[in-house]
Amino acid sequence: MTVETDFTHDPSATSWVDSANGHPHFPVQNLPLGVFSPPGGGDPRGGMAIGDMILDLGDIAGLLELEAANAARLAGGATLNDLLARGSDSLRALRQGVFKLLTEEGNKRAIGPALHKAADCDLYLPVTVGDYTDFYTGIHHAENIGSLFRPDNPLLPNYKYVPIGYHGRSSSIRLSGVDVKRPSGQTKAPDADAPSFGPSKRLDYELEMGIWVGKGNALGHPIPIGEAEEHIAGISILNDWSARDIQAWEYQPLGPFLAKNFHSTISPWIVTMDALAPFRVAQPARPEGDPAPLEYLYDEHDQATGALGVTMDVFISTAKMREDGAAPHRLSTGPMTAMYWTAAQLVTHHAVGGCNLRPGDLLGTGTLTSGKEGGEGSLIELTRGGKQPIELPNGETRTFLEDGDEVIMTAYAEKEGFARIGLGECRAVIVG
C-alpha cells in the first residue's frame, strides 16, 4: 500500500467556510469524522469537523457521487461503525468528495444549511466500541516505569520481541468532557501487614493515542503485516487513566484490572489515515543490539512509512487555577514516534493468533514518553514515583491528581509544505 498525497493535501487550498482557513486543528485539509447532534435537538448523526463548524454528512449525501455518496449515507447514522467497515477506499472517496464541496464557492448555498456551529452541538462517541486493547509501545515509558520497580532490569526479556498489551474495558470509555470519578479499591502499603480499601490516592493520567480499526477480519484469519494498514481507519487522542496504588497491589500475576477499568477518555474526532498521509515518517531505527522484529511483524514499507509525525501535549488546570482565571499549565510534550512498534505491527500481532478484529475496535498505544526531560507521559514519571512533587506556576504542588484537577491533552501534525492539522482535545475533570 503506497502512501500518497493528493489534491486534498494542497496547502494553498482554502474553503468558503471562513473559520477553516488557518484553523489550528480543522482546516479543509483535515476533515475528521465524528458523531454529533445539531442545536435544538435531533438524533445523533455523523459529521465532519471543518473550522468551527460541523458538516452533517447525511444531509449532503445527495450532492456526492458513487462511493462518496454511499459513504455519506452510512455516516448518517448514530455511529460510524458501518462506515469504518467499508474500508479505506470508502473513507478516501468521502474525504475527497467533501473536500471538493467545501472548496468550490458555488456549493455554498446548497451546503450552508448542513453546517452547524460546533460550539452549539452535542458530541458523542463516534463508534460503538466492541473491544478495547491497550498496548505498551512507549519504550521510554516502559523503561521509566520498570526502573521504579526493577532498577537493575527495567525491561522484561519479552518487551523487544512481542508487542505487549492487555484487554481493557470498552464499556467505561467516555468522550472528552465527561468527569472522571475517583475509583476505589484495595491498596497495600509496603510496610502494611494487609491491604485496605478506599479511594485511590495515586490517580494518574496516561498520554496515549487511540488507533481505530476500520475493516475487520474473520475469526481464524490473521492479517498479514503488508495488509495491516488497510484495516486502520484513523486515530484519536486517548487518556487511559490509572490508579497507581491499586495497580501496584493487583497487577501480579495477571496484569491491570480495577486500576484501569474505571474510565478511559477519548477525543471526539477520528483523524483519518488519508488526512495523515503527509505526516507519515520512518519508524525510528532500533538501538544497536536490539533484535529485529520477527518475520511476521516485519515489512519494509511499514518500517519506511509506518510511524506518524504527531506531536502530543498534556496540560493541567487545577480548580484554583480556573478560579483565578489562570491558563492551563503544560506538563509535558512529546512525539507519537516514541512507539517501539508501528500501528500496523499492533494490528498484525493482535490478529496473528486468529483473533477477529471488528470495525470500531480501539487499540491504545500505551503511554508515549519522549525519552527527554519534559516529555514524560504520566505523573508517576514526572514525580519519580511520587517522591519529587512538581510545582505549578501558582505555587500549588502535585505528585498525583487531586479532585478538581482537569487534564487536557492535545495533538497536532505539521510539516513544511503542508497545512497543519490537529486532533482537537481530550479533557476531563477528576471528581471525588
Rounded average pLDDT over 283-302: 96
CA 224-227-228 angle, 5° bins: 85
Q: What is the CA radius of gyration of the chain?
A: 22
Q: What is the pLDDT of residue 96?
A: 98
pLDDT at position 152, please?
79
Question: Of 1.10.3720.10, 1.10.287.110, 2.30.30.230, 3.50.50.60, which CATH number belongs to 7-124?
Answer: 2.30.30.230
Cell numbers placing 350 = 493482535
Looking at residue 396, its amino acid is E
Q: pLDDT tens, 137-166?
A: 999 999 998 888 787 778 888 999 999 999
Residue 252 to residue 24: CA distance in whole angstroms: 43
pLDDT of residue 156: 87
Assess whether 141 carries a catalytic annotation: yes
On the question of pLDDT at 271 being above 60, the answer is yes
CB 383 within 8 A of CB 332: no
Q: What is the per-residue pLDDT for 173?
A: 98
What is d(CA 216, CA 85) in angstroms, rounded to the nearest whole number? 7
**C-alpha distances out from residue 206 to 6, 34, 229, 345, 408, Å:** 35, 23, 25, 21, 11
Pairing of strands 173-175, 264-266: parallel
Given the DSSP bridges, would you call strands 207-213 and 362-364 parallel, antiparallel or unpaired? Answer: antiparallel
Q: Which residues contact 228 (CB under 8 A, 6 or more apart)?
A: 302, 343, 344, 345, 347, 348
Task: Print burial letters for 367-394: b (CB count within 10 Å at least 16), e (below 16).
Answer: bbbbeeeebbbbbbbbbebbeeeeebee
Residue 264 has pLDDT above 60, yes or no: yes
Q: Does the pLDDT of residue 62 top 60, yes or no?
A: yes
Residue 3 banded pLDDT, cuts 50, 70, 90: low
Q: Which of 23, 140, 141, 349 is catalytic?
A: 141
Q: What is the pLDDT of residues 125-139, one digit of tens each?
A: 999 999 999 999 999
Q: What is the pLDDT of residues 89-126, one digit of tens each?
A: 999 999 999 999 999 999 999 999 999 999 999 999 99
CA distance to 127, 201, 212, 238, 261, per residue, from 258 (Å): 24, 14, 24, 18, 5
Q: Which of 2-11, 332-341, 393-402 has the lowest mean pLDDT?
A: 2-11
Average predicted confidence (pLDDT) for the chain: 96
Q: Nearest to residue 310, comparing CAs of 280, 269, 343, 282?
A: 280
Question: Assign residue 36 a region: left if phi > 0, alpha if psi is -120 to 50, beta otherwise?
Answer: beta
- Say if residues 184 and 199 touch (Cβ distance below 8 Å): yes
CA separation for the pair 11, 418 (Å, rounded): 5
Task: Return the closest-CA partner of residue 330 out of 289, 367, 374.
Answer: 374
pTM: 0.96
**Cβ atoms within 10 Å of 143's Cβ, excluding its own:** 15
Residue type, 92: R
Tens-digit pLDDT profile for residues 375-400: 999 999 999 999 999 999 999 999 99
Whether 182 and 199 have beta carbons less than 8 Å apart is answered as yes
Residue ranges per domain, the chain? 7-124, 132-431
Query: pLDDT over 90 for what percent of the chain?
Result: 94
CA 358/CA 135 separation, integer angstroms: 17
As a CATH number, domain 132-431 is 3.90.850.10
pLDDT score of 1:
43
Percent of the chain with pLDDT over 70: 99
Mean pLDDT of 244-254: 91
pLDDT score of 311 more than 90: yes
Q: How confident is the model at residue 40 (pLDDT cuts 50, 70, 90)?
A: confident
Convert the pLDDT of each residue in 178-208 to its tens digit: 999 999 999 999 899 999 999 999 999 999 9
